[in-house]
C-alpha cells in the first residue's frame, strides 16, 4: 500500500465559512505531494458538515455528538491518518504558495525533527509571531505583566513569546504553534498522541515538551508561509477562552514541574485574574456601552479564581480544567 505524504487534520467548531476558504486553499495550493484531508467536527450547529459533504466530497469527515476539544478531536484524526506526516491545521488558515509541499521537503531533510512550524501571516500579510518557549514561573510572571508589549525587542521581557525575533531564519525552538504544525508520524508512534486532559490550549506545548524530552527536535522554517485569520472558534467564547489558556498553562506546570512550581504558578495566575476584576468592575459601572463585555470578563475572571482556589467546591468538569 502506498503511503501518503501528509494527512491534514482540521478540527472544526462552528467555523463553516472560514473552513470553506481553508479547504479551498488546501486543494488549490498543494502540489507535488500526496495528501488526504480529515475534518473532525465538534458538534457544530452551523451546517459545517453539510457544506463539506456538498462542496468537498473527498474530505473524510468525523462527526462528534459533542465538543470534545482540540486535543481529543485531533487524536481521532491521527488514529485514521495514513500519511508519513500529520499536519494539524486550524480551520481559520489559508494555504499559500504551495506551503505544504515546501514543508515536506524541509522535514525530509531534517530527520531528527518531530514537529515543524512555518512563517505565519496576518490577513494583511504582516507577521503573526509564532513559536514560543515552554511555560515557567519566570515566563508566566513576565507574560502577566505585559511588559513584552512595551519592550517587544527585549530578549528578557519578550522571552516567552520570542517577540524580538522576526521569524526570518531557520532554527530549533521549544514550541511551534498548533495552527500549522507538521508532525512526523514515526515520532507520534514513539511519544504518543496529544494529552486529552488539555481541552483547549497548551496541548501542543505539552506535546513539544514530550518530544523534546525524548531527544526529538522542534524546528521552525521560513521556507513556507500561511495566512492565519486567528481565533475564529475561541472568539465565540473569548473571555472563557482567555481563562482556559491560563488554566491550561497551570495544568502543564502541574504535570511537568511538580507541586511547588504548581502552587507558585497558581498564585501568579490568581493575581493575574484578581487585578483585572476591579478594572472591569469600574468599566461595568461607568461605561454603558461596554457593560455587557465587562460582565462577561468579570464572570470569567471570577470563575478562574474560583477554579484555582476552591477546586473541591467545583464540579468534576471544572476540576478537569486544572
The string of pLDDT tens digits covering residues 245-259 is: 889 999 999 999 999
Gyration radius of the chain over CA positions:
20
Within a 10 A sphere around the Cβ of 96, how many other Cβ atoms?
15
- Percent of the chain whose pLDDT exceeds 70: 93
Three-state secondary-structure class, residue 83: strand
Q: Distance of CA 32 to CAs 56, 98, 107, 187, Å?
A: 20, 9, 15, 24
Q: Give residue 83's Cα distance to chain centre.
A: 21
Rounded to 5 degrees, what are φ and ψ at 40? -105, 115
> What kind of architecture, by CATH, is found in domain 4-131+167-228?
Alpha-Beta Complex (3.90)
The string of pLDDT tens digits covering residues 85-144 is: 999 999 999 999 999 999 999 999 999 999 999 999 999 999 998 999 999 999 988 888
| Cell 468579570 sits on residue | 298
Q: Distance of CA 304 to CAs 134, 276, 299, Å?
A: 22, 12, 9
pLDDT level of residue 239 (50, 70, 90 thresholds): low
Rounded distance, CA 174 to CA 172, Å?
A: 7
Question: pTM for this structure?
Answer: 0.89
Amino acid at each position: 500500500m502506498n503511503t501518503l505524504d501528509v494527512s491534514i487534520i482540521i478540527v472544526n467548531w462552528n467555523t463553516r465559512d472560514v473552513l470553506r476558504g481553508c479547504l479551498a486553499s488546501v486543494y488549490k495550493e498543494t502540489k507535488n505531494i500526496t495528501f488526504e484531508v480529515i475534518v473532525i467536527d465538534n458538534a457544530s450547529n452551523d451546517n459545517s458538515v453539510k457544506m463539506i459533504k456538498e462542496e468537498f466530497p473527498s474530505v473524510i469527515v468525523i462527526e462528534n455528538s459533542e465538543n470534545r476539544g482540540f486535543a481529543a478531536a485531533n487524536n481521532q484524526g491521527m488514529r485514521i491518518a495514513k500519511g508519513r506526516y500529520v499536519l494539524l491545521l486550524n480551520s481559520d488558515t489559508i494555504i499559500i504558495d504551495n506551503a505544504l509541499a515546501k514543508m515536506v521537503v524541509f522535514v525530509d531533510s531534517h530527520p531528527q525533527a518531530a514537529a515543524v512550524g512555518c512563517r505565519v501571516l496576518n490577513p494583511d500579510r504582516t507577521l503573526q509571531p509564532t513559536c514560543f518557549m515552554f511555560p515557567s514561573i519566570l515566563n508566566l510572571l513576565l507574560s502577566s505583566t505585559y511588559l513584552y508589549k512595551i519592550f517587544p525587542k527585549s530578549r528578557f521581557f519578550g522571552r516567552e513569546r520570542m517577540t524580538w525575533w522576526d521569524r526570518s531564519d531557520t532554527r530549533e525552538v521549544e514550541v511551534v504553534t498548533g495552527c500549522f504544525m507538521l508532525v512526523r508520524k514515526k515520532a507520534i508512534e514513539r511519544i504518543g498522541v496529544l494529552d486529552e486532559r488539555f481541552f483547549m490550549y497548551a496541548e501542543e506545548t505539552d506535546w513539544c515538551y514530550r518530544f523534546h524530552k525524548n531527544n526529538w527536535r522542534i524546528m521552525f522554517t521560513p521556507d513556507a508561509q500561511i495566512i492565519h485569520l486567528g481565533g475564529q472558534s475561541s472568539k465565540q467564547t473569548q473571555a472563557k477562552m482567555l481563562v482556559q489558556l491560563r488554566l491550561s498553562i497551570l495544568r502543564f506546570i502541574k504535570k511537568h514541574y511538580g507541586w511547588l512550581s504548581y502552587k507558585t504558578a497558581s498564585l501568579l495566575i490568581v493575581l493575574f485574574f484578581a487585578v483585572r476584576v476591579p478594572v472591569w468592575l469600574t468599566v461595568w459601572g461607568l461605561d454603558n456601552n461596554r457593560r455587557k463585555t465587562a460582565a462577561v470578563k468579570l464572570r470569567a475572571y471570577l470563575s478562574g479564581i474560583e477554579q484555582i482556589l476552591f477546586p473541591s467546591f467545583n464540579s468534576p468538569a471544572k476540576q478537569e480544567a486544572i
